[in-house]
Amino acid sequence: MAKTNTVAKNHDPVVVQIAVPVPLRRCFDYTTNDVITIGSRILVSFGKRKLMGILVSSNPTTIPVQKLKPVLCHLDERSVFSNSMFELVRWSAQYYHCPIGEAFSAALPAKLRTQDSYTDPTVEPHYRIMPNLSDEQINSKLSRSPKQREAWELLMGFALTTGLVAGVEHNSLDNGCWVSQSEILQSLPGSQPVFKRLIEKQLIEIRQKPSFWTQPGGKSDDRVVLTPEQRSATKKIIDSQGQFAPFLLNGITGSGKTEVYLNAAEYMIEKGLQVLVLVPEISLTPQLINRFMARLGNRVCAVHSSLTDQERYTTWWRANQGETSVVLGTRSAVFTPLKNPGLIIIDEEHDISYKQQDGFRYHARDVAIKRASIENIPIVLGSATPSMESIYNQENHRYQSLVLTHRAGQSSLPVTDMVDLKTQPMHDGVSLSLFEAVRDRIQRQEQSILYINRRGFAPVIQCGQCGWQALCSRCDSHLIYHQTTHKFRCHHCNSRKPSEKTCPKCQSILFFAGFGTQRIEESLRSRFPEARISRLDRDEVTTQRKLEEELEKIAHHQVDIIIGTQLITKGHDFPKVTLVGVINSDQGLHSIDFRSTEYLFQQLVQVSGRAGRGDLTGRVLIQTAYPDNTYLDFIKNQDFTRFSQYCLGERKAAQLPPYSHIALWRSESTNDGDSLRFLQNAKAIGEKLIIQMKLEGISVMDAVHSPMEKLAGRYRAQLLVRSSIRRNLHLLLNQWIHQIEHSRSVNRVRWSLDIDPMEMF
Ligand code: ADP
Ligand code: ZN
Ligand code: ZN
């Protein structure tokens, strides 16, 4: 690996390789006479544009130096990447076959993707009144400028309120008379020029000082006595301090995994080390952040979506300086540099939000494993329903196994039953058993959650006479009726149009088939008019704040029935929820995606895990037309071990991941046909290469239309490649992608390559 901060002064121009954020898988040569700093940001002209790239190396080329363009500008004196992050990004770009410039760019905080300077965001100008001024001096210098006097008096006021008047304690430079620029600008917007004049007149002085860092929280002592299983898991993690050691913490919902994280983190922090915690998008709630802050003190920094770019940069900076103890964030936080890394924790490691679905298609869990090996630290993957990949790695002793088999504290796992929809029909989406169970909960002043994985009112709009259905004109999908907005909407391309009551073909009345959250809500409101009902889906809950408000209401028992999508399945601890009803689980049983049963199991276990978290026993009712399905049987018994063995057996027989390595080419075009032809051509290129390179164990499937061929007006196709030997797959892809980039048909389509794809459409 190239060392960062290599410094050399050059008299003759030297050639440098710059990673520029463009969709080409290579670096570009430029010349420079300046000091070369690997990992620094460089401004270059690229075609007609100016782009900011990263200096990756300095090697001579065969092209004469005179023919190369000089770089425009060196933006940094230091590398913006730590050594280990530089290595991690290079590895990730290679592994995911992502253009290196795009990977570097994605790994930086947004502020450093611009030409903004790489300087300490935690300091800002502070002003104070010059000590030892006489009244005459002050009056003569301010007499003819009311604006300057106003500014002076403001600063004086700040000094007086802190009880420290200039001149009284002029020995100390770090006293309370210093007032930050941001405080001043709040009172006197736009006053910087005035303050500049005051400095020139030597009435005040200026200094760069750390801005005040306040964070709520502080150490609390609400700790619990760890169970023997929790203690043993924690011990194994902390015993691995300072060495690469991946762990799979497999613990049922509510078994106290978070307690294990907290204890292991606390140990590392006491040793002066830093901890990186990754959580799925949906789980980064204030409850979770507070729990970490309450236990680990106020040096916990959360990287959440409502931070500004400046705040993100500040967090990044503090982590890099070793000033934070814990960085808590979603996917992209995996690239946050830590000065003294001690431990990485990936909560809900199976969660699909760890995989970036466009551009730089990395999987944050897998990148984190690589990171831990580069930084020589332990890493914990936690889940109640680990991914098949992780289970497989555990069986092959690549991951050490940690297990929590009991719920912590008083609570026990809920009892699960199936409601057979063939013998017990639904009325407006709710069977009699489920209806009675909800009624009982209301009478006992407990809460119910009804889970349905579909927004809107009804997913199918159909004419009873002629069979016409409302379909999206831009996608191969049904329009969904949204009652609250009276719109027909497509959930794939987001297009919408006014709803209609009659068939456009034969004018008969349209009817709605199937169920969405809105219809279930209506159905329950009509049956329980007194009940307080809350609906949580992306239509109703559009902001993080709204989600937090709703969760607070549930926690304080201001709601009797909660109807929701995945939004309610994760992480929340509601002691009064004793019933979880699953409206319909059957789509997950019959999907073309080979991972669909795994996802179904994860979802149902997660949502069931919401029941009976307190000292009341929980109950789960799953409505299904296939009560005898093998998978549902595992779910009924919450038998993850048997489920995973069964699932792995199926994967092995079909030679699917984790028993093989896959990559998926995707293409899309505005013309029907171009995308498929492009991949048919790609297949031919690939097969030729396999023979030329004498690679074994690789099979290239046929190029096919994507399961949903048309999406947002574009026609899509895909091509799956599978290999029993990972190395061979990557050797092939290196050459293959190069030929694709230079093929003639490449301009007619948009294409991408997805390594270890998590969704097959
Ligand atoms: P998980 O992360 O596995 O879902 P949590 O760590 O959130 O589980 O624990 C679930 C609940 O049990 C929390 O309310 C937590 O405070 C409590 N808990 C965890 N460990 C213990 C313990 N050893 N003794 C008592 N209560 C515990
Ligand atoms: Zn009709
Ligand atoms: Zn659409």
What tokens does 2 get?
């190239």
At 213, the pLDDT band (50, 70, 90 cuts) reads low
Question: Can you say whether residue 694 is alpha, beta or left, with left for phi > 0 and alpha for psi between -120 and 50 degrees?
Answer: left
* 255 CB near ligand 1 (under 6 Å): yes
| Atom 5 of ligand 1, residue of closest alpha carbon | 256
Amino acid present at 309: D
* 409 CB near ligand 1 (under 6 Å): yes
Residue 190's pLDDT is: 81
Residue 729's pLDDT is: 97
Residue ranges with CB less than 5 Å from ion ligand 3: 472, 474-475, 490, 492-493
CATH of domain 661-755: 3.30.70.600
Please tell me the number of the ligand nearest to residue 713's CA: 3
CATH of domain 228-404: 3.40.50.300
Rounded to the nearest 10 degrees, how much is the dihedral formed by the CA atoms of 32, 33, 37, 40? -50
What tokens does 683 get?
């297949």
Please identify, by atom number, the ligand 1 atom nearest to the C-alpha of residue 262: 6
The answer to whether residue 355 scores a pLDDT higher than 90 is yes
Residue 55's pLDDT is: 97
Taking the C-alpha atoms of residue 29 and residue 383, their distance in angstroms, rounded to an integer, is: 46
The answer to whether residue 684 scores a pLDDT higher than 50 is yes
Q: How far is CA 235 from CA 172, 310, 349, 521, 736, in A?
A: 48, 38, 21, 47, 47
Taking the C-alpha atoms of residue 606 and residue 599, their distance in angstroms, rounded to an integer, is: 10
Residue among 252, 258, 346, 385 whose CB has most ligand 1 atoms within 8 A, to mutate: 258
pLDDT digits (tens, 9 = 90+) for 273-302: 999 999 998 777 777 888 898 888 878 999
At 619, is the secondary structure helix, strand, or coil?
strand
- The phi, psi pair for 458, rounded to 5°, reads -145, 135
Residue 217's pLDDT is: 52
Q: How far is CA 66 from the centre of its chain?
A: 45
| Atom 15 of ligand 1, residue of closest alpha carbon | 256
| Atom 12 of ligand 1, residue of closest alpha carbon | 408
* 615 CB near ligand 1 (under 6 Å): no
At 89, the pLDDT band (50, 70, 90 cuts) reads very high
Best CA proximity match to 58, nearest among 5, 102, 121, 118: 5
Q: Higher-confidence residue: 401 or 745?
A: 401
Question: Is the backbone peptide bond immediately before 658 cis, with ω within 30 degrees of 0?
Answer: yes
CA angle 678, 684, 687 (to 5 degrees): 140
The CATH class of the 415-457+515-651 domain is alpha beta
Amino acid present at 502: T
Please state the domain extents for the chain: 6-113, 123-210, 228-404, 415-457+515-651, 661-755
| Atom 19 of ligand 1, residue of closest alpha carbon | 256
Best CA proximity match to 245, nearest among 380, 66, 148: 380
Best CA proximity match to 123, nearest among 201, 178, 73: 178
Please identify, by atom number, the ligand 1 atom nearest to the C-alpha of residue 347: 2
Amino acid present at 63: I
* 258 CB near ligand 1 (under 6 Å): yes
Spacing, Cα 498 to ligand 3 middle (Å): 15
Q: Find out whether 670 and 713 touch, Cβ atoms under 8 Å.
A: yes
Taking the C-alpha atoms of residue 423 and residue 456, their distance in angstroms, rounded to an integer, is: 27
Best CA proximity match to 553, nearest among 441, 447, 637: 447
Spacing, Cα 510 to ligand 2 middle (Å): 8
Please, how many CA atoms are within 13 Å of residue 366, restricted to the half-sphere of its CB? Answer: 20
Third-level CATH fold of 6-113: GIY-YIG endonuclease (3.40.1440)
The proportion of the chain whose per-residue pLDDT surpasses 70, expressed as a percent, equals: 94
* 253 CB near ligand 1 (under 6 Å): yes
Cβ burial of 427 (10 Å; 0-12, 13-18, 19+) is exposed
The answer to whether residue 680 scores a pLDDT higher than 50 is yes
Taking the C-alpha atoms of residue 89 and residue 725, their distance in angstroms, rounded to an integer, is: 23
Taking the C-alpha atoms of residue 285 and residue 328, their distance in angstroms, rounded to an integer, is: 11
What average pLDDT does the chain have? Answer: 89
Domains 228-404 and 415-457+515-651 share a fold: yes
The whole-model pTM stands at 0.87
The full 3-state SS of 284-303, as one line of letters, equals: CCHHHHHHHHHHHCCCEEEE
Please give the order of strands across the beta sheet that includes 480-482.
480-482, 487-489, 496-498
Residues paired with 171 in a beta bridge = none
pLDDT digits (tens, 9 = 90+) for 111-155: 999 888 888 888 878 888 887 788 888 888 888 888 898 888 888
Cβ burial of 120 (10 Å; 0-12, 13-18, 19+) is middle
